[in-house]
Copies of this chain bind each other. A is one copy, B any other.
Amino acid sequence: MDQCKIAVVGATGAVGSVFLDILEHRDFPASELRLCASSRSVGKRLRVKGQEIEVEAVTPELLSEVDIVFISASGDVSREVAPLAVRQGAVVIDDSSAFRMDPDVPLVVPEVNADDLRGHKGIIAIPNCSTTPLVMALKPLNDVNPVRRVIADTYQSVSGTGTAAVEELRTQTASALKGEGSEPSVYPHRIAFNALPHIEPFKENGYTNEEMKMLNETRKILHEPDLAVSATCVRVPVMVGHSEAVHVEFAEPMGAGEVREILSGFPGIRVVDDPLRNVYPMPIDAEGVDEVLVGRIRQDVSHPNGVAMWLASDNLRKGAALNALQIAEEVMAKGLLLEPGRKV
């Protein structure tokens, strides 16, 4: 099969919109595109590749008529729709955290672990938007010099939360500039001109879910079940683009030049590292860009085998929609669609 039918669940959301945008510009062999969203958006018409497509409700019938379903809504929607879609014979590429740690579900960044797609059972998960750029940077280095420990502190944009959060940052910022207050609604506190060390609920160990995802997902994707990872995940008043300050400890010493060279050769990474000319990754430069930008690469002065770096990545693209579409491409290339006979 060299063409496939695809459905996007959450088509009107922040990630869904970017998915459609990427689909327009990428040569993906979709013979049919179905758009789904919550009842609020059903009936709305979206323009994709010059064609007006009406937003539909998710139904078993619709799911039975497509080969691949991309879901980016909420964990609850994923938990409901994904198993149903698989029963109807569609491969699910899921953006939620619902299935990521399920041993039966491959968690995939194609440049890093595309082979994990083989033997999938219908659901394929994409990692959290702060994990993906991190594993992109760690993978090629870990292949050369085993990574022992990673500390990653994040500077995450509000679009990671969704369109309502982008709107909240806008309105709060406008109010703050006028010297007026505004009640937070999406976040527990004001995000305008602030930093919130709180992404996702807190766990008993004092970490947030988001921070523990960076540990657990990194281990799963890199096949390094004992890798030590500690993160502090922080929401900052940035619209699009997640940044991370990363400190890596390797098994052996490693020069910044070697790190730069290895990363430069890895697909999906762009080394942006000429600090004396004020060139380094920034979220405003990562927005709309496919690659993970890595820079500020330096030997860590605090550890003989340490390297510090800074990365920025479009959380809606490589952090979500682009990664999902790349998985769909791999699924097609490797012939990993579910067999037609499985359809009800």
Residues of A that sit less than 8 Å from B by CB: 149-151, 153, 155, 169-170, 173-174, 177, 188-190, 193-198, 202, 205-208, 212, 215, 228-230, 232, 234, 236-239, 243, 245, 247, 256, 275-276, 278, 280-284, 295-303, 306, 308, 310, 312
A238 to B300 Cα, complex, angstroms: 27
Known: A234-B155, A238-B237. A195 touches B243 (CB 8 A): yes
By a CB distance below 8 angstroms, the chain B residues around A188 are 278
Known: A236-B237, A310-B197. A230 touches B296 (CB 8 A): no
Question: Which of A206, A236, A306 has the most chain B CB within a 10 Å cutoff?
Answer: A206
By a CB distance below 8 angstroms, the chain B residues around A238 are 193-195, 237
The answer to whether A202 and B300 touch across the interface, beta carbons within 8 angstroms, is no
A300 to B205 Cα, complex, angstroms: 9
A196 to B281 Cα, complex, angstroms: 8
By a CB distance below 8 angstroms, the chain B residues around A247 are 151, 230, 232
By a CB distance below 8 angstroms, the chain B residues around A312 are 195
By a CB distance below 8 angstroms, the chain B residues around A280 are 197-198
User: Copy number of this protein in the oligomer?
Assistant: 2
The answer to whether B234 and A237 touch across the interface, beta carbons within 8 angstroms, is no
Write the chain B residue with the least CB distance to A174.
B177
By a CB distance below 8 angstroms, the chain B residues around A306 are 230
A344 to B6 Cα, complex, angstroms: 86
List the 6 closest A-B pairs by CB distance, nearest first. A206-B298, A230-B302, A232-B245, A228-B302, A153-B153, A153-B245
Q: List 28 A-B contacts (CB under 8 A).
A: A149-B303, A151-B151, A153-B232, A153-B245, A155-B155, A155-B234, A170-B177, A173-B173, A173-B177, A177-B177, A193-B283, A193-B284, A194-B283, A194-B284, A196-B282, A197-B295, A197-B296, A198-B278, A202-B276, A206-B298, A206-B308, A208-B275, A212-B301, A228-B301, A228-B303, A230-B301, A230-B308, A245-B245
By a CB distance below 8 angstroms, the chain B residues around A208 are 275
Residue in B205, B237, B298 whose beta carbon sits within 8 Å of that of A193 in the complex: B237
Write the chain B residue with the least CB distance to A256.
B206
The answer to whether A275 and B177 touch across the interface, beta carbons within 8 angstroms, is no
A296 to B205 Cα, complex, angstroms: 10
Residue in B189, B197, B308 whose beta carbon sits within 8 Å of that of A232 in the complex: B308
By a CB distance below 8 angstroms, the chain B residues around A155 are 155, 195, 234, 236
A276 to B201 Cα, complex, angstroms: 8
Q: Name 13 extra pairs, CB < 8 A, besides A151-B151, A237-B237.
A: A149-B302, A155-B234, A155-B236, A193-B238, A194-B238, A197-B281, A197-B282, A205-B299, A229-B302, A230-B301, A230-B308, A237-B238, A245-B245
